[in-house]
């Protein structure tokens, strides 16, 4: 009976330790996931505007500005793994160019916004195909 109790106690302590380690591992990746999630939200909102054919310039510019504001966080978010790689930096700079192009020439209609969203999404996709 004593050995069964010790076995159960060992399993409980082991499960708690495993849960704690799992939590720590997830927290390590929270910043990169957060950066990508916020950028995905804003790009998704722009794509949804295009799909619904409702592209008010003020709303689209706000989403583009948020994408621009989040972009500098990409390299620090992935500094541990990817930021030192030259091709990763090239993908990040292509994203900057795509966002800057979209911001410099505000989309007058959904067709123009669709081209900008496609260009930004394409730069994201090309990087994700390699590094995801």
| CA nearest neighbour of 120 among 81, 103, 56, 57 | 103
Residue 51's region, left for phi above 0, alpha for psi from -120 to 50, else beta, is: alpha
pLDDT for 61 equals 92
Residue-wise pLDDT for 83-110, tens only, equals 567 888 888 999 999 999 999 988 788 8
pLDDT tens-digit readout, 19-42: 777 766 655 678 888 999 999 999
Round the average pLDDT of the chain to a whole number and report it. 86
pLDDT in tens, 109-122: 889 899 999 999 99
Above pLDDT 90, what percent of the chain? 40
Out of 2.40.50.140, 1.20.120.10, 3.40.50.1820, 3.40.30.10, select the CATH number for domain 28-131. 1.20.120.10
pLDDT of residue 96: 92
């Amino acid at each position: 009976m004593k050995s069964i109790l010790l076995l159960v106690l060992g399993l409980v302590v082991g499960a708690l330790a495993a849960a704690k380690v799992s939590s720590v591992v997830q927290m390590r990746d929270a910043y990169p996931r957060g950066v990508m999630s916020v950028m995905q939200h804003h790009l998704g909102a722009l794509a949804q505007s295009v799909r619904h054919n409702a592209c008010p310039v003020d709303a689209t510019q706000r989403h583009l500005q948020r994408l621009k504001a989040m972009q500098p966080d990409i390299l620090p978010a992935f500094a541990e793994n990817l930021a030192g790689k030259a091709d990763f930096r090239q993908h990040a700079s292509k994203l900057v160019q795509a966002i800057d192009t979209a911001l410099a020439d505000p989309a007058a209609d959904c067709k123009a916004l669709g081209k900008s969203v496609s260009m930004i999404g394409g730069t994201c996709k090309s990087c994700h195909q390699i590094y995801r």
